[in-house]
């Protein structure tokens, strides 16, 4: 898998999603399907988008006991998605179980990445609610190394952390980074943001872009701009 722009299809219905994807005509952007769309439409939406020729990152962030995650991953593996994820906080045993469940009888499997600390969690909430008193960067790097040791393929992290993750876990360990905004964009609720161009320079492997594309007056042009800045 090379560098790519993943479009976060955060839509509430199949109709809205397919109407959006139809705008791309011949092009087949890498698509992220999250909880909202999957819970609204069920697994058929994954099959339908896959059948249209898109790669899919199914962003469900699993976090449960290892046996339950293993069984759930076996189901997701059958959907033939390209990337799935878990929370690294589920522990090494859970991540290893996820990997086992995901691996098909022929040895193939989707890529598995781990969420480190959500970018919505700040230092104060981590200390107060999770009783973790280490600095955020230390926690994120520890979770990334744990994910790597468990055999995972990479992490979801802030683009600000991508370079450090590569130094600690190797250049082949994938960094999938949301929090992308064009230099001239409104940031919305994202705080630690970076442009597609800066994300390329810092070494992100995949950028996840939602509203700068989905809410643009010209989504295809916004997508092309991301590709131009990030890949070309
Ligand atoms: O619209 P925007 O570009 O902010 O969308 C970012 C996407 O990445 C959303 O689908 C959001 O759920 C996801 N995401 C994130 N921060 C994380 C993990 C995922 O923004 N730490």
* Calpha distance 62→71 (Å, rounded): 11
pLDDT at 42: 97
Structure token digits, residue 174: 């994938």
Mutate which of 195, 210, 211 for ligand 1? The one with the most ligand atoms within 8 Å of its CB, which is 210
* Calpha distance 161→153 (Å, rounded): 16
CA 178–ligand 1 middle distance (angstroms):
5
pLDDT at 2: 74
pLDDT at 187: 63
Residue 28 among the catalytic residues? no
* Calpha distance 206→200 (Å, rounded): 9
The 8-class DSSP code of residue 150 comes to T
Q: Report whether 90 contacts 70 (CB < 8 A).
A: no
Q: Which atom of ligand 1 is nearest to the CA of 34?
A: 10
* Calpha distance 203→189 (Å, rounded): 24
Structure token digits, residue 33: 């399907």
Give the active site residue among 50, 55, 61, 197. Answer: 61
DSSP alpha helix (H) spans, 59-173? 66-78, 91-102, 123-130, 136-149, 159-169
CA 156–ligand 1 middle distance (angstroms):
10
pTM of the model: 0.95
* Calpha distance 23→107 (Å, rounded): 36
Question: What is the CB < 6 Å shell around ligand 1?
Answer: 8, 10, 34, 118-119, 156, 178-180, 190, 208-212
Q: What fold does the segment set 4-230 form as a domain?
A: TIM Barrel (3.20.20)
- Where are the chain's structural domains? 4-230
pLDDT at 119: 80
pLDDT at 193: 85
Task: Give me the tens of pLDDT residue by residue for the chain, a chain 232 residues long.
Answer: 579 999 999 999 999 999 999 999 989 999 999 999 999 999 999 999 999 999 999 999 999 999 999 999 999 999 999 999 999 999 999 999 999 999 999 999 999 999 998 888 889 999 999 999 999 999 999 999 999 999 999 999 989 899 999 999 999 999 999 999 998 886 666 667 899 999 999 999 999 999 999 999 999 999 999 999 999 7
Helix (H, G, I), strand (E, B) or coil at 194: strand
């Amino acid at each position: 898998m090379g560098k790519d722009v993943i479009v976060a299809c955060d839509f509430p219905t199949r109709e809205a999603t397919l109407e959006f994807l139809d705008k791309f005509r011949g092009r087949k952007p890498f698509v992220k399907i999250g909880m909202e769309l999957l819970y609204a439409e069920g697994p058929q939406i994954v099959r339908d988008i896959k059948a249209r020729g898109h790669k899919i990152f199914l962003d469900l962030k699993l976090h449960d006991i290892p046996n339950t995650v293993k069984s759930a991953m076996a189901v997701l593996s059958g959907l033939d998605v390209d990337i799935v994820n878990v929370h690294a906080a589920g522990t090494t045993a859970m991540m290893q179980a996820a990997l086992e469940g995901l691996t098909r009888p022929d040895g193939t499997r989707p890529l598995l990445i781990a969420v480190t600390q959500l970018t919505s969690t700040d230092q104060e909430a981590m200390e107060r609610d999770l009783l973790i008193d280490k600095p955020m960067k230390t926690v994120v790097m520890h979770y990334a190394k744990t994910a790597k040791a468990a055999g995972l393929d990479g992490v979801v992290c802030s683009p600000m952390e991508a370079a450090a993750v590569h130094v600690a876990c190797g250049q082949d360990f994938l960094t999938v980074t949301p929090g992308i905004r064009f230099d001239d964009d409104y940031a919305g609720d994202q705080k630690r943001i970076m442009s597609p161009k800066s994300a390329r320079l810092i070494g992100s492997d995949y950028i996840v872009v939602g509203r700068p594309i989905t809410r643009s007056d010209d989504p295809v042009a916004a997508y092309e701009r991301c590709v131009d800045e990030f890949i070309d």
